[in-house]
Structure 1
Protein backbone atom coordinates (compact mmCIF):
# COMPACT_ATOMS: atom_id res chain seq x y z
CA UNK A 1 0.00 0.00 0.00
CA UNK A 2 1.52 3.31 -1.08
CA UNK A 3 1.53 6.48 1.00
CA UNK A 4 -1.30 8.20 -0.89
CA UNK A 5 -3.65 5.24 -0.46
CA UNK A 6 -2.82 5.05 3.25
CA UNK A 7 -3.58 8.77 3.62
CA UNK A 8 -6.94 8.30 1.86
CA UNK A 9 -7.84 5.42 4.17
CA UNK A 10 -6.82 7.41 7.23
CA UNK A 11 -8.90 10.33 6.01
CA UNK A 12 -12.01 8.17 5.54
CA UNK A 13 -11.52 6.64 8.99
CA UNK A 14 -11.37 10.14 10.49
CA UNK A 15 -14.56 11.37 8.78
CA UNK A 16 -16.47 8.07 9.09
CA UNK A 17 -18.05 8.85 12.50
CA UNK A 18 -19.53 12.18 11.41
CA UNK A 19 -20.66 10.70 8.07
CA UNK A 20 -22.42 7.86 9.89
CA UNK A 21 -24.06 10.30 12.31
CA UNK A 22 -25.23 12.47 9.39
CA UNK A 23 -26.68 9.46 7.59
CA UNK A 24 -28.44 8.14 10.70
CA UNK A 25 -29.74 11.37 12.22
CA UNK A 26 -30.04 13.83 9.29
CA UNK A 27 -30.09 12.39 5.78
CA UNK A 28 -31.90 9.16 6.66
CA UNK A 29 -34.73 10.85 8.60
CA UNK A 30 -35.07 13.51 5.88
CA UNK A 31 -35.57 10.85 3.20
CA UNK A 32 -37.97 8.93 5.43
CA UNK A 33 -39.93 12.12 6.18
CA UNK A 34 -40.22 12.81 2.46
CA UNK A 35 -41.66 9.32 1.97
CA UNK A 36 -44.09 9.80 4.86
CA UNK A 37 -45.41 13.00 3.27
CA UNK A 38 -47.16 10.82 0.67
CA UNK A 39 -48.81 8.60 3.29
CA UNK A 40 -51.64 8.74 5.77
CA UNK A 41 -49.42 7.56 8.59
CA UNK A 42 -50.65 6.77 12.09
CA UNK A 43 -47.81 6.51 14.58
CA UNK A 44 -49.85 4.30 16.93
CA UNK A 45 -51.04 1.99 14.15
CA UNK A 46 -48.33 2.03 11.46
CA UNK A 47 -49.65 -1.17 9.88
CA UNK A 48 -52.81 0.71 8.88
CA UNK A 49 -50.90 3.41 7.02
CA UNK A 50 -51.67 3.86 3.35
CA UNK A 51 -50.30 5.82 0.42
CA UNK A 52 -52.34 8.92 -0.41
CA UNK A 53 -49.84 10.49 -2.85
CA UNK A 54 -50.42 14.27 -2.99
CA UNK A 55 -53.48 14.47 -0.73
CA UNK A 56 -51.45 15.82 2.21
CA UNK A 57 -50.04 18.59 0.03
CA UNK A 58 -53.47 19.45 -1.34
CA UNK A 59 -54.83 19.75 2.19
CA UNK A 60 -51.81 21.76 3.26
CA UNK A 61 -52.16 24.41 0.57
CA UNK A 62 -55.90 24.67 1.24
CA UNK A 63 -55.56 25.13 5.01
CA UNK A 64 -55.92 28.77 6.17
CA UNK A 65 -54.18 27.89 9.44
CA UNK A 66 -51.02 27.01 7.49
CA UNK A 67 -51.03 30.37 5.72
CA UNK A 68 -51.46 32.17 9.04
CA UNK A 69 -48.51 30.20 10.45
CA UNK A 70 -46.48 31.03 7.33
CA UNK A 71 -47.41 34.71 7.60
CA UNK A 72 -46.38 34.81 11.27
CA UNK A 73 -43.10 33.06 10.49
CA UNK A 74 -42.20 35.35 7.59
CA UNK A 75 -43.15 38.43 9.60
CA UNK A 76 -41.02 37.18 12.47
CA UNK A 77 -38.07 36.53 10.15
CA UNK A 78 -38.32 39.87 8.32
CA UNK A 79 -38.11 41.77 11.62
CA UNK A 80 -35.63 39.64 13.57
CA UNK A 81 -32.95 39.00 10.93
CA UNK A 82 -32.18 42.64 9.92
CA UNK A 83 -32.39 43.92 13.50
CA UNK A 84 -30.18 41.24 15.01
CA UNK A 85 -27.68 41.59 12.14
CA UNK A 86 -27.40 45.35 12.63
CA UNK A 87 -27.11 45.09 16.42
CA UNK A 88 -24.54 42.29 16.12
CA UNK A 89 -22.40 44.41 13.79
CA UNK A 90 -22.53 47.40 16.14
CA UNK A 91 -21.71 45.26 19.19
CA UNK A 92 -18.84 43.59 17.34
CA UNK A 93 -17.45 46.99 16.38
CA UNK A 94 -17.65 48.17 20.00
CA UNK A 95 -16.10 44.95 21.32
CA UNK A 96 -13.26 45.27 18.81
CA UNK A 97 -12.19 48.69 20.07
CA UNK A 98 -9.17 49.19 22.29
CA UNK A 99 -11.08 49.96 25.47
CA UNK A 100 -10.67 48.82 29.04
CA UNK A 101 -12.71 45.78 29.98
CA UNK A 102 -13.46 44.74 26.40
CA UNK A 103 -13.25 41.07 27.42
CA UNK A 104 -16.05 41.68 29.92
CA UNK A 105 -18.22 43.25 27.23
CA UNK A 106 -17.58 40.37 24.83
CA UNK A 107 -18.61 37.84 27.45
CA UNK A 108 -21.62 39.91 28.54
CA UNK A 109 -22.87 40.22 24.96
CA UNK A 110 -22.47 36.48 24.38
CA UNK A 111 -24.06 35.16 27.61
CA UNK A 112 -27.65 35.31 26.25
CA UNK A 113 -26.58 33.12 23.30
CA UNK A 114 -25.61 30.26 25.63
CA UNK A 115 -28.64 30.67 27.87
CA UNK A 116 -31.30 27.99 27.55
CA UNK A 117 -34.28 28.98 25.42
CA UNK A 118 -36.55 27.74 28.20
CA UNK A 119 -34.77 29.93 30.75
CA UNK A 120 -34.92 32.95 28.43
CA UNK A 121 -38.64 32.46 27.80
CA UNK A 122 -39.32 32.00 31.51
CA UNK A 123 -37.43 35.22 32.27
CA UNK A 124 -39.39 37.18 29.68
CA UNK A 125 -42.68 35.74 30.91
CA UNK A 126 -41.72 36.84 34.43
CA UNK A 127 -40.79 40.35 33.24
CA UNK A 128 -43.94 40.79 31.15
CA UNK A 129 -46.37 39.03 33.43
CA UNK A 130 -49.53 40.89 34.40
CA UNK A 131 -47.89 41.66 37.75
CA UNK A 132 -44.39 41.73 36.30
CA UNK A 133 -41.69 44.36 36.29
CA UNK A 134 -42.75 45.84 32.93
CA UNK A 135 -46.28 46.60 34.11
CA UNK A 136 -45.03 47.94 37.43
CA UNK A 137 -42.69 50.30 35.62
CA UNK A 138 -45.44 51.50 33.27
CA UNK A 139 -47.76 51.88 36.26
CA UNK A 140 -45.45 54.60 37.59
CA UNK A 141 -46.47 56.73 34.60
CA UNK A 142 -50.17 55.94 34.98
CA UNK A 143 -50.50 53.17 32.40
CA UNK A 144 -52.81 50.24 33.08
CA UNK A 145 -51.43 46.72 33.38
CA UNK A 146 -51.24 44.81 30.10
CA UNK A 147 -51.55 41.06 29.72
CA UNK A 148 -48.68 40.98 27.24
CA UNK A 149 -48.67 37.32 26.25
CA UNK A 150 -52.46 37.16 26.03
CA UNK A 151 -52.73 40.03 23.55
CA UNK A 152 -52.31 39.09 19.86
CA UNK A 153 -50.65 42.43 19.02
CA UNK A 154 -47.98 42.00 21.72
CA UNK A 155 -47.25 38.26 21.86
CA UNK A 156 -45.31 37.91 18.59
CA UNK A 157 -43.30 41.17 19.01
CA UNK A 158 -42.21 39.97 22.46
CA UNK A 159 -41.07 36.71 20.88
CA UNK A 160 -39.09 38.80 18.37
CA UNK A 161 -37.42 40.78 21.16
CA UNK A 162 -36.60 37.57 22.99
CA UNK A 163 -35.05 36.03 19.86
CA UNK A 164 -32.95 39.12 19.12
CA UNK A 165 -31.69 39.30 22.70
CA UNK A 166 -30.80 35.60 22.84
CA UNK A 167 -29.16 35.19 19.41
CA UNK A 168 -27.34 38.45 18.72
CA UNK A 169 -24.26 37.25 20.62
CA UNK A 170 -23.56 34.46 18.15
CA UNK A 171 -23.71 36.81 15.15
CA UNK A 172 -21.51 39.26 17.06
CA UNK A 173 -18.75 36.63 17.29
CA UNK A 174 -18.90 36.08 13.53
CA UNK A 175 -18.56 39.80 12.85
CA UNK A 176 -15.86 40.11 15.50
CA UNK A 177 -13.80 37.43 13.78
CA UNK A 178 -14.23 39.28 10.49
CA UNK A 179 -13.20 42.61 11.99
CA UNK A 180 -10.02 41.12 13.37
CA UNK A 181 -9.12 39.85 9.89
CA UNK A 182 -9.20 43.38 8.43
CA UNK A 183 -5.65 44.82 8.32
CA UNK A 184 -5.08 48.03 10.26
CA UNK A 185 -3.30 49.45 7.22
CA UNK A 186 -6.64 49.75 5.46
CA UNK A 187 -8.03 51.98 8.19
CA UNK A 188 -4.81 53.98 8.36
CA UNK A 189 -4.95 54.64 4.61
CA UNK A 190 -8.58 55.76 4.93
CA UNK A 191 -7.63 58.07 7.81
CA UNK A 192 -4.83 59.62 5.74
CA UNK A 193 -7.37 60.29 3.00
CA UNK A 194 -9.43 62.22 5.52
CA UNK A 195 -12.21 59.69 6.14
CA UNK A 196 -14.07 60.11 9.42
CA UNK A 197 -14.84 57.20 11.73
CA UNK A 198 -18.37 56.92 10.31
CA UNK A 199 -17.03 57.02 6.74
CA UNK A 200 -14.44 54.35 7.58
CA UNK A 201 -17.17 52.16 9.02
CA UNK A 202 -19.45 52.56 5.98
CA UNK A 203 -16.78 52.50 3.25
CA UNK A 204 -14.26 50.07 4.74
CA UNK A 205 -15.77 47.89 7.45
CA UNK A 206 -19.14 47.13 5.92
CA UNK A 207 -17.84 46.21 2.40
CA UNK A 208 -15.05 44.04 3.80
CA UNK A 209 -17.54 42.17 5.96
CA UNK A 210 -19.78 41.32 3.02
CA UNK A 211 -19.13 37.57 3.22
CA UNK A 212 -19.65 37.50 6.97
CA UNK A 213 -22.85 39.50 6.55
CA UNK A 214 -24.14 37.04 3.96
CA UNK A 215 -23.39 34.15 6.30
CA UNK A 216 -25.10 35.84 9.26
CA UNK A 217 -28.20 36.74 7.24
CA UNK A 218 -28.60 33.28 5.70
CA UNK A 219 -28.06 31.47 9.01
CA UNK A 220 -30.36 33.93 10.78
CA UNK A 221 -33.07 33.48 8.16
CA UNK A 222 -32.89 29.69 8.41
CA UNK A 223 -33.05 29.88 12.20
CA UNK A 224 -36.02 32.26 12.30
CA UNK A 225 -38.00 30.27 9.74
CA UNK A 226 -37.52 27.23 11.98
CA UNK A 227 -38.53 29.07 15.16
CA UNK A 228 -40.35 26.75 17.57
CA UNK A 229 -39.19 26.88 21.19
CA UNK A 230 -40.13 30.48 22.01
CA UNK A 231 -43.57 30.15 20.42
CA UNK A 232 -44.21 26.83 22.15
CA UNK A 233 -43.24 28.12 25.60
CA UNK A 234 -45.04 31.46 25.29
CA UNK A 235 -48.31 29.94 24.07
CA UNK A 236 -48.11 26.64 25.91
CA UNK A 237 -48.01 24.86 22.57
CA UNK A 238 -51.31 26.27 21.32
CA UNK A 239 -49.89 29.05 19.14
CA UNK A 240 -52.20 31.56 20.80
CA UNK A 241 -53.55 34.02 21.45
CA UNK A 242 -55.74 33.71 18.35
CA UNK A 243 -52.93 32.01 16.44
CA UNK A 244 -50.66 35.06 16.68
CA UNK A 245 -47.63 33.00 17.74
CA UNK A 246 -48.27 29.97 15.55
CA UNK A 247 -45.18 29.37 13.42
CA UNK A 248 -44.75 26.80 10.68
CA UNK A 249 -42.74 24.46 12.90
CA UNK A 250 -45.23 24.78 15.77
CA UNK A 251 -48.03 24.09 13.27
CA UNK A 252 -46.06 21.04 12.09
CA UNK A 253 -45.58 19.84 15.66
CA UNK A 254 -49.25 20.14 16.55
CA UNK A 255 -50.34 18.32 13.40
CA UNK A 256 -47.75 15.55 13.58
CA UNK A 257 -47.75 14.83 17.31
CA UNK A 258 -50.81 16.62 18.65
CA UNK A 259 -53.18 15.12 16.08
CA UNK A 260 -51.02 12.05 15.35
CA UNK A 261 -50.75 12.87 11.62
CA UNK A 262 -47.11 12.23 10.82
CA UNK A 263 -47.76 12.11 7.09
CA UNK A 264 -49.33 15.55 7.04
CA UNK A 265 -46.64 16.90 9.37
CA UNK A 266 -43.99 15.54 7.01
CA UNK A 267 -45.66 17.37 4.13
CA UNK A 268 -45.38 20.58 6.15
CA UNK A 269 -41.69 19.85 6.76
CA UNK A 270 -41.07 19.31 3.04
CA UNK A 271 -42.86 22.56 2.22
CA UNK A 272 -40.78 24.44 4.78
CA UNK A 273 -37.59 22.93 3.38
CA UNK A 274 -38.50 24.10 -0.13
CA UNK A 275 -39.19 27.63 1.12
CA UNK A 276 -35.91 27.82 3.06
CA UNK A 277 -33.91 26.36 0.18
CA UNK A 278 -35.42 28.79 -2.34
CA UNK A 279 -34.82 31.82 -0.12
CA UNK A 280 -31.24 30.71 0.60
CA UNK A 281 -30.44 30.33 -3.10
CA UNK A 282 -32.06 33.70 -3.85
CA UNK A 283 -30.08 35.48 -1.13
CA UNK A 284 -26.85 33.85 -2.24
CA UNK A 285 -27.42 34.90 -5.85
CA UNK A 286 -28.19 38.49 -4.76
CA UNK A 287 -24.96 38.73 -2.74
CA UNK A 288 -22.91 37.21 -5.56
CA UNK A 289 -24.42 39.63 -8.06
CA UNK A 290 -23.53 42.58 -5.83
CA UNK A 291 -19.97 41.31 -5.57
CA UNK A 292 -19.65 40.94 -9.34
CA UNK A 293 -20.83 44.49 -10.13
CA UNK A 294 -17.73 46.31 -8.77
CA UNK A 295 -15.46 43.83 -10.55
CA UNK A 296 -17.26 44.45 -13.85
CA UNK A 297 -17.05 48.21 -13.37
CA UNK A 298 -13.32 48.05 -12.67
CA UNK A 299 -12.87 45.87 -15.76
CA UNK A 300 -14.82 48.31 -17.94
CA UNK A 301 -13.01 51.36 -16.52
CA UNK A 302 -9.66 49.67 -16.88
Structure 2
Protein backbone atom coordinates (compact mmCIF):
# COMPACT_ATOMS: atom_id res chain seq x y z
CA UNK A 1 0.00 0.00 0.00
CA UNK A 2 1.15 3.54 -0.73
CA UNK A 3 1.96 5.45 2.43
CA UNK A 4 -0.14 8.53 2.95
CA UNK A 5 1.68 11.85 3.42
CA UNK A 6 0.44 13.45 6.59
CA UNK A 7 -0.06 17.22 6.86
CA UNK A 8 2.74 17.38 9.45
CA UNK A 9 5.19 15.65 7.13
CA UNK A 10 4.21 17.96 4.26
CA UNK A 11 4.68 20.96 6.53
CA UNK A 12 8.13 19.77 7.60
CA UNK A 13 9.08 19.28 3.94
CA UNK A 14 7.95 22.80 3.07
CA UNK A 15 9.94 24.23 5.98
CA UNK A 16 13.06 22.39 4.81
CA UNK A 17 12.63 23.77 1.29
CA UNK A 18 12.12 27.29 2.65
CA UNK A 19 15.20 26.95 4.85
CA UNK A 20 17.29 25.70 1.91
CA UNK A 21 16.06 28.58 -0.25
CA UNK A 22 16.87 31.09 2.50
CA UNK A 23 20.33 29.59 3.00
CA UNK A 24 21.10 29.93 -0.72
CA UNK A 25 19.77 33.49 -0.87
CA UNK A 26 21.50 34.69 2.31
CA UNK A 27 25.05 35.24 0.91
CA UNK A 28 23.77 37.19 -2.09
CA UNK A 29 21.27 39.05 0.10
CA UNK A 30 24.02 40.17 2.50
CA UNK A 31 26.16 41.42 -0.39
CA UNK A 32 23.26 43.29 -1.99
CA UNK A 33 22.32 44.85 1.33
CA UNK A 34 25.90 45.83 2.16
CA UNK A 35 27.09 47.13 -1.19
CA UNK A 36 23.85 48.33 -2.83
CA UNK A 37 20.93 49.05 -0.52
CA UNK A 38 22.85 50.66 2.36
CA UNK A 39 25.08 52.87 0.11
CA UNK A 40 22.05 54.09 -1.85
CA UNK A 41 20.17 54.88 1.37
CA UNK A 42 23.20 56.72 2.79
CA UNK A 43 23.54 58.71 -0.43
CA UNK A 44 19.95 59.95 -0.12
CA UNK A 45 20.56 60.90 3.52
CA UNK A 46 24.02 62.48 3.19
CA UNK A 47 23.00 64.59 0.18
CA UNK A 48 21.03 66.82 2.55
CA UNK A 49 23.84 67.22 5.11
CA UNK A 50 27.22 68.95 5.31
CA UNK A 51 29.01 65.74 6.27
CA UNK A 52 32.74 65.60 5.56
CA UNK A 53 34.83 62.48 5.16
CA UNK A 54 37.24 63.33 7.99
CA UNK A 55 35.96 65.94 10.40
CA UNK A 56 35.78 66.24 14.20
CA UNK A 57 32.33 67.81 13.86
CA UNK A 58 29.34 65.60 13.05
CA UNK A 59 27.35 66.37 9.93
CA UNK A 60 24.14 68.35 10.26
CA UNK A 61 21.05 68.68 8.11
CA UNK A 62 21.30 71.63 5.69
CA UNK A 63 18.33 70.94 3.41
CA UNK A 64 18.85 71.77 -0.26
CA UNK A 65 22.03 73.79 0.24
CA UNK A 66 24.23 71.19 -1.49
CA UNK A 67 21.95 71.20 -4.53
CA UNK A 68 21.85 75.01 -4.60
CA UNK A 69 25.65 75.09 -4.62
CA UNK A 70 25.74 72.31 -7.19
CA UNK A 71 23.49 74.03 -9.71
CA UNK A 72 25.54 77.24 -9.47
CA UNK A 73 28.86 75.43 -9.88
CA UNK A 74 30.45 75.88 -13.31
CA UNK A 75 32.44 72.66 -12.83
CA UNK A 76 29.23 70.69 -12.39
CA UNK A 77 27.74 72.05 -15.59
CA UNK A 78 31.00 71.32 -17.44
CA UNK A 79 30.90 67.76 -16.10
CA UNK A 80 27.27 67.37 -17.15
CA UNK A 81 28.01 68.73 -20.62
CA UNK A 82 31.01 66.41 -21.08
CA UNK A 83 29.02 63.40 -19.88
CA UNK A 84 26.14 64.14 -22.26
CA UNK A 85 28.48 64.73 -25.23
CA UNK A 86 30.37 61.54 -24.47
CA UNK A 87 27.13 59.55 -24.28
CA UNK A 88 25.59 61.06 -27.43
CA UNK A 89 28.70 60.20 -29.47
CA UNK A 90 29.64 56.84 -27.95
CA UNK A 91 26.21 55.16 -27.95
CA UNK A 92 25.51 55.23 -31.73
CA UNK A 93 29.13 54.97 -32.90
CA UNK A 94 30.15 52.14 -30.58
CA UNK A 95 26.97 50.13 -31.16
CA UNK A 96 27.15 50.68 -34.93
CA UNK A 97 30.80 49.64 -35.22
CA UNK A 98 30.21 46.65 -32.96
CA UNK A 99 27.30 45.54 -35.16
CA UNK A 100 29.41 45.94 -38.30
CA UNK A 101 32.21 43.85 -36.82
CA UNK A 102 29.71 41.24 -35.57
CA UNK A 103 28.21 40.87 -39.05
CA UNK A 104 31.69 40.45 -40.53
CA UNK A 105 32.92 37.85 -38.03
CA UNK A 106 29.59 36.00 -38.26
CA UNK A 107 30.39 35.10 -41.85
CA UNK A 108 31.33 31.49 -42.45
CA UNK A 109 34.91 32.09 -43.57
CA UNK A 110 38.26 30.97 -42.23
CA UNK A 111 39.85 32.98 -39.44
CA UNK A 112 36.68 34.31 -37.82
CA UNK A 113 37.59 32.77 -34.45
CA UNK A 114 40.92 34.60 -34.51
CA UNK A 115 39.29 37.95 -35.26
CA UNK A 116 36.65 37.42 -32.55
CA UNK A 117 39.47 36.92 -30.05
CA UNK A 118 41.38 39.97 -31.28
CA UNK A 119 38.35 42.26 -31.08
CA UNK A 120 37.39 40.96 -27.63
CA UNK A 121 40.92 41.15 -26.17
CA UNK A 122 40.67 44.83 -25.03
CA UNK A 123 37.54 43.97 -23.04
CA UNK A 124 39.27 41.40 -20.84
CA UNK A 125 42.28 43.67 -20.39
CA UNK A 126 42.15 45.93 -17.35
CA UNK A 127 40.79 49.38 -18.19
CA UNK A 128 43.68 50.86 -16.21
CA UNK A 129 46.19 49.02 -18.41
CA UNK A 130 44.35 50.11 -21.56
CA UNK A 131 44.27 53.72 -20.33
CA UNK A 132 48.00 53.68 -19.60
CA UNK A 133 48.68 52.28 -23.07
CA UNK A 134 46.66 55.01 -24.77
CA UNK A 135 48.24 57.61 -22.48
CA UNK A 136 51.57 56.82 -24.11
CA UNK A 137 50.02 56.75 -27.58
CA UNK A 138 48.53 60.22 -27.06
CA UNK A 139 51.77 61.91 -25.97
CA UNK A 140 53.15 64.73 -28.11
CA UNK A 141 55.87 62.39 -29.39
CA UNK A 142 53.72 59.28 -29.13
CA UNK A 143 53.00 56.73 -31.83
CA UNK A 144 49.86 58.48 -33.12
CA UNK A 145 51.60 61.80 -33.75
CA UNK A 146 54.63 60.02 -35.21
CA UNK A 147 52.40 58.24 -37.73
CA UNK A 148 50.60 61.50 -38.54
CA UNK A 149 53.93 63.23 -39.13
CA UNK A 150 54.78 60.58 -41.73
CA UNK A 151 51.93 61.86 -43.89
CA UNK A 152 52.68 65.53 -43.26
CA UNK A 153 50.17 66.18 -40.45
CA UNK A 154 51.26 67.74 -37.17
CA UNK A 155 49.30 66.03 -34.44
CA UNK A 156 47.92 68.06 -31.52
CA UNK A 157 48.56 67.61 -27.83
CA UNK A 158 45.71 65.14 -27.57
CA UNK A 159 45.25 65.15 -23.81
CA UNK A 160 46.66 68.61 -23.13
CA UNK A 161 44.43 70.56 -25.51
CA UNK A 162 40.88 71.29 -24.25
CA UNK A 163 39.57 71.03 -27.82
CA UNK A 164 40.94 67.50 -28.35
CA UNK A 165 41.02 65.87 -24.89
CA UNK A 166 37.41 64.66 -24.77
CA UNK A 167 37.59 63.47 -28.38
CA UNK A 168 40.69 61.42 -27.50
CA UNK A 169 38.89 59.82 -24.55
CA UNK A 170 35.90 59.02 -26.79
CA UNK A 171 38.05 57.27 -29.40
CA UNK A 172 39.85 55.19 -26.80
CA UNK A 173 36.61 54.24 -25.02
CA UNK A 174 34.91 53.15 -28.25
CA UNK A 175 37.89 50.97 -29.15
CA UNK A 176 38.10 49.41 -25.68
CA UNK A 177 34.45 48.38 -25.24
CA UNK A 178 33.48 47.63 -28.85
CA UNK A 179 34.44 43.96 -28.52
CA UNK A 180 32.03 43.37 -25.64
CA UNK A 181 29.05 44.63 -27.62
CA UNK A 182 30.30 42.80 -30.70
CA UNK A 183 29.89 39.54 -28.78
CA UNK A 184 26.34 40.51 -27.75
CA UNK A 185 25.42 41.42 -31.33
CA UNK A 186 26.98 38.16 -32.47
CA UNK A 187 24.88 36.13 -30.05
CA UNK A 188 21.77 37.88 -31.39
CA UNK A 189 22.78 37.22 -34.99
CA UNK A 190 23.17 33.52 -34.32
CA UNK A 191 19.59 33.26 -33.05
CA UNK A 192 18.17 34.32 -36.43
CA UNK A 193 17.12 31.22 -38.42
CA UNK A 194 19.17 30.63 -41.56
CA UNK A 195 16.00 29.70 -43.43
CA UNK A 196 14.96 33.36 -43.43
CA UNK A 197 18.10 34.34 -45.33
CA UNK A 198 17.63 31.46 -47.77
CA UNK A 199 14.05 32.54 -48.45
CA UNK A 200 15.14 36.16 -48.91
CA UNK A 201 17.90 35.10 -51.31
CA UNK A 202 15.41 33.04 -53.35
CA UNK A 203 13.20 36.13 -53.61
CA UNK A 204 16.15 38.05 -55.05
CA UNK A 205 16.90 40.20 -52.00
CA UNK A 206 20.28 41.93 -51.97
CA UNK A 207 22.64 41.80 -48.97
CA UNK A 208 21.39 45.17 -47.78
CA UNK A 209 17.75 44.13 -48.18
CA UNK A 210 18.44 40.95 -46.20
CA UNK A 211 19.99 43.03 -43.43
CA UNK A 212 17.14 45.56 -43.39
CA UNK A 213 14.27 43.06 -43.52
CA UNK A 214 15.73 39.98 -41.80
CA UNK A 215 18.74 40.83 -39.65
CA UNK A 216 17.65 44.15 -38.15
CA UNK A 217 14.13 43.03 -37.12
CA UNK A 218 15.61 39.84 -35.68
CA UNK A 219 17.90 41.88 -33.42
CA UNK A 220 15.09 43.79 -31.69
CA UNK A 221 15.69 42.42 -28.20
CA UNK A 222 19.47 42.53 -28.62
CA UNK A 223 19.58 46.16 -29.69
CA UNK A 224 17.37 47.18 -26.77
CA UNK A 225 19.77 45.53 -24.34
CA UNK A 226 22.82 47.05 -26.03
CA UNK A 227 21.30 50.52 -26.15
CA UNK A 228 20.59 50.53 -22.42
CA UNK A 229 23.92 48.99 -21.37
CA UNK A 230 26.03 51.34 -23.50
CA UNK A 231 24.12 54.36 -22.24
CA UNK A 232 24.56 53.42 -18.58
CA UNK A 233 28.26 52.63 -19.12
CA UNK A 234 28.80 55.93 -20.96
CA UNK A 235 27.19 57.95 -18.18
CA UNK A 236 29.46 56.15 -15.68
CA UNK A 237 32.71 57.19 -17.38
CA UNK A 238 35.42 57.38 -14.71
CA UNK A 239 38.47 55.09 -15.01
CA UNK A 240 39.81 56.60 -18.24
CA UNK A 241 39.48 60.12 -16.86
CA UNK A 242 41.09 59.19 -13.56
CA UNK A 243 44.12 57.63 -15.22
CA UNK A 244 44.63 59.84 -18.27
CA UNK A 245 43.50 63.42 -17.57
CA UNK A 246 42.25 63.85 -13.98
CA UNK A 247 39.40 65.91 -15.45
CA UNK A 248 41.64 68.38 -17.25
CA UNK A 249 42.65 70.38 -19.05
CA UNK A 250 40.36 73.16 -17.77
CA UNK A 251 37.64 70.62 -16.86
CA UNK A 252 37.42 69.58 -20.52
CA UNK A 253 37.12 65.92 -19.53
CA UNK A 254 35.51 66.16 -16.11
CA UNK A 255 32.46 63.89 -15.81
CA UNK A 256 29.73 63.53 -13.21
CA UNK A 257 31.16 60.35 -11.70
CA UNK A 258 34.71 61.73 -11.61
CA UNK A 259 33.41 64.95 -10.07
CA UNK A 260 31.59 63.00 -7.37
CA UNK A 261 34.66 60.93 -6.54
CA UNK A 262 36.91 63.99 -6.50
CA UNK A 263 34.52 65.89 -4.23
CA UNK A 264 34.01 62.94 -1.90
CA UNK A 265 37.55 61.64 -1.50
CA UNK A 266 40.00 64.36 -2.58
CA UNK A 267 38.05 67.33 -1.23
CA UNK A 268 36.40 65.20 1.50
CA UNK A 269 32.99 66.83 0.91
CA UNK A 270 30.89 63.72 1.43
CA UNK A 271 27.56 65.53 1.49
CA UNK A 272 28.30 67.47 -1.69
CA UNK A 273 29.52 64.30 -3.44
CA UNK A 274 26.31 62.54 -2.40
CA UNK A 275 24.30 65.34 -3.99
CA UNK A 276 26.21 64.86 -7.26
CA UNK A 277 25.60 61.11 -7.06
CA UNK A 278 21.90 61.65 -6.47
CA UNK A 279 21.62 63.92 -9.50
CA UNK A 280 23.54 61.33 -11.53
CA UNK A 281 21.18 58.58 -10.36
CA UNK A 282 18.09 60.57 -11.34
CA UNK A 283 19.58 61.46 -14.72
CA UNK A 284 20.43 57.85 -15.59
CA UNK A 285 17.00 56.71 -14.38
CA UNK A 286 15.22 59.25 -16.59
CA UNK A 287 17.28 58.38 -19.67
CA UNK A 288 16.78 54.63 -19.13
CA UNK A 289 13.02 55.05 -18.71
CA UNK A 290 12.81 57.15 -21.88
CA UNK A 291 14.77 54.54 -23.83
CA UNK A 292 12.55 51.76 -22.51
CA UNK A 293 9.35 53.61 -23.39
CA UNK A 294 10.56 54.49 -26.88
CA UNK A 295 11.64 50.92 -27.50
CA UNK A 296 8.31 49.53 -26.32
CA UNK A 297 6.41 51.92 -28.58
CA UNK A 298 8.43 50.83 -31.57
CA UNK A 299 7.96 47.15 -30.76
CA UNK A 300 4.20 47.64 -30.38
CA UNK A 301 4.04 49.19 -33.79
Q: Is the 8 A contact 2:48 2:275 kept in 1?
A: yes
- Once the 2 structures are TM-superposed, how far is the Cα of residue 181 of structure 1 from its aligned partner? 1.1
Contact kept, 8 Å, 2:197 with 2:214, in 1: the verdict is: yes
Question: Residue 45 of structure 1: SS of its match in structure 2?
Answer: coil
Q: CA RMSD in A?
A: 1.4
- 2:295 maps to 1:287: yes
Q: Which residue of 2 aligns with 1:164?
A: 174
TM-score, structure 2 as length reference:
0.93
Question: Given the alignment of the two structures, is residue 274 of structure 1 paired with residue 279 of structure 2, yes or no?
Answer: no
Distance 2:21 2:189 in 1: 33
Tell me how far apart the structure 2 counterparts of residues 22 and 103 of structure 1 sit (CA, whole Å). Answer: 37
2-side partners of 1:188 and 1:145: how far apart?
A: 49
Higher helix share: 1
Matches for 1:215-294 after TM superposition, within 5 Å: 215-235=225-245, 237=246, 239-293=247-301
Q: Secondary structure at the match of 1:20?
A: helix
Per the TM alignment, residue 54 of structure 1 is displaced from its structure 2 partner at its CA by 1.1
- In the alignment, which residue of structure 1 is the partner of 2:208? 198
Contact 1:131 1:145 survives alignment (8 Å) = no
Secondary structure of the equivalent of 2:159?
helix
Q: Distance in 1 between matches of 2:56 and 2:190?
A: 55
Question: Compared with structure 1, are the counterparts of its residues 289 and 265 closer, same or farther at alpha carbon in structure 2 (3 Å cutoff)?
Answer: same
Contact 2:53-2:264 at 8 Å conserved across structures: no
Question: What is the CA–CA distance in structure 2 between the aligned matches of 1:177 and 1:102, rounded to whole Å?
Answer: 14
1:183–1:46 distance in 2 versus 1, CA, 3 Å: farther
- Structure 2 residue runs of 5 or longer lacking an equivalent are 1-8
1:111 aligns with 2:114: no
Once residues 128 and 45 of structure 1 are traced to their aligned partners in structure 2, the CA distance between those partners, rounded to angstroms, is 40
Q: Does 1:71 align with 2:75?
A: no
Q: How does 1:173-212 map to 2 (within 5 A)?
A: 173-212=183-222
Partner of 1:299: none
The answer (yes or no) to whether the contact 2:52–2:59 under 8 Å persists in 1 is yes
CA distance in 1: counterparts of 2:222 and 2:129, whole angstroms: 29
Distance 1:8 1:48, change over 3 A: closer
- Could you tell me which runs of 5 or more consecutive residues in structure 1 were left unpaired when the two chains were aligned: 294-302
1:94 and 2:67 are equivalent in the alignment: no
Count of residue pairs brought into register by the alignment: 291
For the 8 Å contact 1:42–1:49, the answer to whether it is kept is yes
The within-5 A match list for 1:144-163 is 144-163=154-173
CA distance in 2: counterparts of 1:215 and 1:107, whole angstroms = 22
Distance 2:233 2:176 in 1: 12
The structure with the largest alpha-carbon Rg is: 2
Instruction: State TM-score, norm by structure 1.
Output: 0.92
Which whole-Å CA distance do the structure 1 matches of 2:257 and 2:237 have between them?
7
